[in-house]
Amino acid sequence: MGLFNFFTQEIAIDLGTANTLIIHNDVVVVNEPSIVALDRNNPKNILAVGKKALMMHEKTHESIRTVRPLKDGVIADFNAAELMIREMIKKIYPKKPLFPPSWRMMICIPSSITEVEKRAVRDSAEQAGAKEVYLLHEPMAAALGIGIDVEEPVGNMIIDIGGGTTGITVIALAGIVCDQSIRIAGDEFTGDIMEALRRYHSLLIGERTAEQIKIQIGAAMKDIDNPPEDMPVNGRDLVTGIPKQIMVSYQEIAEALDKSIFKIEEGILKALETTPPELASDIYRRGLYLTGGGALLRGLDKRLAAKIKLPVHVADDPLKSVVRGTGLALKHYDRYPFVMR
């Protein structure tokens, strides 16, 4: 077995709607946007993946198309997903090794996923060269990554605001007790910002610009500590059709995101309603844990704490907590009962 183990390399993958992260030997080796650029004339020919492909997004001519293989946390374009996983794995070893290793992969999946979608993840990993594929529910991975002991009989509520979905989960005894998944998350926020600028400034902007606005001045409340400065935004004027620039303040963005954040609050309240009373008392003591890219939105923890009247903790590095947890679960994949074979 020793020789076989030498050739088996372990990687943990967080296959997200917006970003894909890979951990190998406890180091995050790949952290790239989940997007590929393909040649229209030859769909198997991959032109760019990750950041390079994102640079091309919405700027392509007719013989190139950019694809985001995942939609709402699940694989929407099977071929593109397989190509993307394969290219991302290639980035681990820039030089081609003499003996290509056989991979043992652990991949995160949303907890609301169907059997068919689960098969799609497994198949695309196997197509990309995995010998063994283990699956893990994202909230479990997030809890491990935050540093919660998931096996003790105490309830913890994890709110994972990703790119495509927001997962609201109560975890106890290494299992998922109740689970709400809403399709409102980072992509929806980006759409809200595009819509708001179109409506109030009659300015047409692209997805990437809206994403940059969200990262630089996005906020969940109109009054936050150390507010960001106004940001210049370029786009096309809908009235004249000429490119123009406007200044956008974080208050406008907070207003644009208000409805979507309200829906997330409703989802959390709904999940709390279905929580068994003993676990609810644990959650009252421990509070809620926010993770995922959406947790970085300024003032979101304050707004949720004010609405739900419970303490809200943001994970240390919310973008990486899921992949860190997946890496931990992969190390002890035979010990944890919640790892799916």
- Per-residue pLDDT tens digits for 127-158: 888 899 999 999 999 999 999 999 999 999 99
Average pLDDT of every residue of the chain: 92
- pLDDT tens sequence across 248-306: 999 999 999 999 999 999 999 999 999 999 999 999 999 999 999 999 999 999 999 99
Instruction: Report the binding-site residues for ATP.
Output: 17-19, 163-165, 211-214, 293-296
Considering the domain architecture, whether residues 26 and 114 belong to the same structural domain is answered as yes
Q: Helices in 31-150 by DSSP H: which ranges?
A: 51-56, 78-90, 115-127, 138-146
pLDDT of 98 higher than 80: no
Mean pLDDT, to the nearest integer, of 105-134?
Answer: 91
21 touches 332 (CB < 8 A):
no
**pTM (two decimals):** 0.91
Apex 267 CA angle, 264 and 271, nearest 5: 140
**What pLDDT score was predicted for residue 3?**
54
Same domain, 125 and 158: no
The answer to whether 155 touches 9, Cβ cutoff 8 Å, is no
Query: What's the domain range around 201?
Result: 186-256
Instruction: Provide the annotated binding site.
Output: 17-19, 163-165, 211-214, 293-296
Residue 2 lies inside a defined structural domain of this protein: no
The CATH number that applies at residue 127 is: 3.30.420.40
Closest CA to 71 of 204, 188, 196: 188
- Residues 243, 306, single domain; the answer is no
How much of the chain, in percent, has pLDDT values that exceed 90? 82
pLDDT of residue 4: 56
For the chain, the domain total comes to: 3
Residue 6 has pLDDT above 80, yes or no: no
Residue 282 lies in a domain: yes
The pLDDT, as a whole number, for residue 8 is 84
